[in-house]
Amino acid sequence: MADTNGKKSSESGRLVHLRIRRQDGRDMPETRRWEEFKVPYLPQMNVHSALQQIQRAPVTVQGKVVAPVVWEAACLEEVCGSCTMVINGRVRQACSALVHTLSPKGEVITIEPMSKFPVERDLVVDRSRMFDALKRVKAWIDLDGTHELGPGPREAPEHQQERYPLSRCMTCGCCLEACPQYNDSSPFIGAFALNAVRLYNMHPSGAMHRTARLESVMGEGGVADCGKAQNCVEVCPKEIPLVDSIADVARETTKQLLFGWLLK
C-alpha cells in the first residue's frame, strides 16, 4: 500500500528521533536540559503528532520514564499560533511542520521553546507581552454601547482586499523571535503590533482612533526602535507584508508629529 507521497506505508517501521529542550517550570532555569525520544514514523505526520506519541509513552532513548513533554495547540491548522516553537533552529508551528520534510533521511529533529518569552514549562511560553502590546495600540474597533448602530461605513472591495492580508496575524510570535530588536531588555513593541496599527487605522470605523494608535507607537519602544533588519517578514507564516506595515506606520507617525497640531 502506498501513502499520498507514493512511499510505502511499511516506512512506518522507521523511527523519528526528536531532541527536545525541557524545563520543569517558570523561573526554574536550573532544570533546563535536553531529552531525546524515538517514536514510530507515520506517513504525513507533523511535529504535533510526534509530540502526542511521546505523551502516550514518555520514555527517553536511554529507557528512562519521564514526565510527558508539555506544549500548546488548539486549531491544528496554523490559525491560532499556540503551537509555535523553534524546530531545527527555525521558529514555526508544530502543526504545520511535517516530519518527512524536516528529517527526510531520519535526521534528528531539535525542538525548543521560543527564546523571547518566559518559559512556563517545556515548550509552553508566556506570550502576555504580545497581548499587552495589542492593548497599547488599541487593536480593536470601539463599539459605542450595545444599541443598534445601523449599517457600518461603506468600504470599496479594493480597500478590503488591501486590508485582508494584514488581518491574518495569529499572534504567534515568530516575528518577535526573529527580531534582533525584541528582547527582555528592550521595550520594542514588535512588528505584529505595528501591523495592527496599520490594519485598524485602515478600517473605516477603526480610523476614529487613528491618532491615539499612532501616538501609542511614537514613544519609547515604538516604531522608531525598529532596526529594519527585515527578519520578521522572512519568518511570518501568514506572509504578512510586515516591512510595508512598519514603513507605513513610520510615515504616518512622522506626519502626525509634524502636522498633528493642525488636526487638533
∠139-226-211 over CA atoms, to 5°?
40
In whole angstroms, how close is the CB of 146 to ligand FES at the nearest point? Answer: 31
Residues 216-255: x where in contact with ligand SF4 by CB under 6 A, - otherwise, as a string: ----------xxxxxxx---xxx-x-xx--x---------
Choice between 18 and 130, CB closer to ligand SF4: 130
In whole angstroms, how close is the CB of 55 to ligand FES at the nearest point? Answer: 15
Beta strands in the chain (DSSP E): 15-22, 33-40, 84-87, 90-93, 109-112, 119-121, 124-125
Beta pairing partners, 92: 85
One residue of 39, 54, 175, 249 binding ligand SF4 per CB under 6 A? 175
Phi (first) and psi of residue 21, to 5 degrees: -80, 125
Interacting residue ranges for ligand FES, rule: CB under 6 A: 73-76, 78-83, 93, 95
d(CA 70, CA 121): 7
* Residue 63, C-beta contacts closer than 8 angstroms, at least 6 positions apart: none
Residue 200: contacted member of ligand FES, ligand SF4, none (CB under 5 to 8 Å, by partner type): none
In whole angstroms, how close is the CB of 201 to ligand FES at the nearest point? Answer: 27
In whole angstroms, how close is the CB of 243 to ligand SF4 at the nearest point? Answer: 6
In whole angstroms, how close is the CB of 195 to ligand SF4 at the nearest point? Answer: 6
Choice between 20 and 175, CB closer to ligand SF4: 175
Residue 169: contacted member of ligand FES, ligand SF4, none (CB under 5 to 8 Å, by partner type): ligand SF4
Cα-to-chain-centroid distance, residue 119: 15
One residue of 169, 197, 199, 217 binding ligand SF4 per CB under 6 A? 169
Residue 193: contacted member of ligand FES, ligand SF4, none (CB under 5 to 8 Å, by partner type): none
In whole angstroms, how close is the CB of 173 to ligand FES at the nearest point? Answer: 11
Task: For residue 21, give the DSSP letter.
Answer: E
Phi (first) and psi of residue 67, to 5 degrees: -70, 145
* Residue 182, C-beta contacts closer than 8 angstroms, at least 6 positions apart: 116, 176, 188, 190
